[in-house]
Amino acid sequence: MSQRSNLGVVIDASVVIPLCSREAQTYAVALAQMRLYQSSGAVAYGPGVLVAEALFGLCRKLANGVLTPEQHGRAIRHLQVRMRGILPPPNGDASLTARAEEIRGSYGCSRSADGLYIALAEQLAQTGPAELVTFDAGMATQAAAVAPSVVVRLLVIP
């Protein structure tokens, strides 16, 4: 593997969803963080599950009446554009499978996808600086417990 000099940032769906749907409470925080990454030359990454989680989250917002059909359509278009700037895992999703399951460990099945994000951050850290950005405090706790080398930037709502 070649060394990276720029920060590799694993973007969690909890950050992508408010960026695409322009959630009132989280949009500004997520946008400010993404702009900081962009201005510093950071490179964004996400496992394949990112798209599925974002689609599910946006669908839930539509179903719960948080988004109108028009807003949902706009959010999906934003997702398509945003995903163009997020790279897949350098060694493919399959390279994360075993480690993601180890990370899930004793956590419930609902935390399975989190293991993919955490495993990707670990993998990226092998070739340069890396961190995982999320609004999900549970993911930060999970990473601290089972992958303490992973740097997690937990975004908070002011």
| CATH, residue 122 | 3.40.50.1010
- 48-89 pLDDT, tens digit per residue, is 999 999 999 999 999 999 999 999 999 999 999 999 999 999
User: Domain range spanning residue 67?
Assistant: 8-154
**pTM as predicted:** 0.93
Tokens of 122: 């670990």
Q: Give residue-wise pLDDT tens across range 106-141.
A: 788 888 899 999 999 999 999 999 999 999 999 999
Secondary structure (3-state) at 94: helix
Structural domain count, the chain: 1
Is residue 1 included in any domain, yes or no?
no
Instruction: Give me the helix-helix angle, 112-125 and 137-146, nearest 10°.
Output: 60
84 to 68, 115, 129: CA distances (angstroms): 25, 23, 22
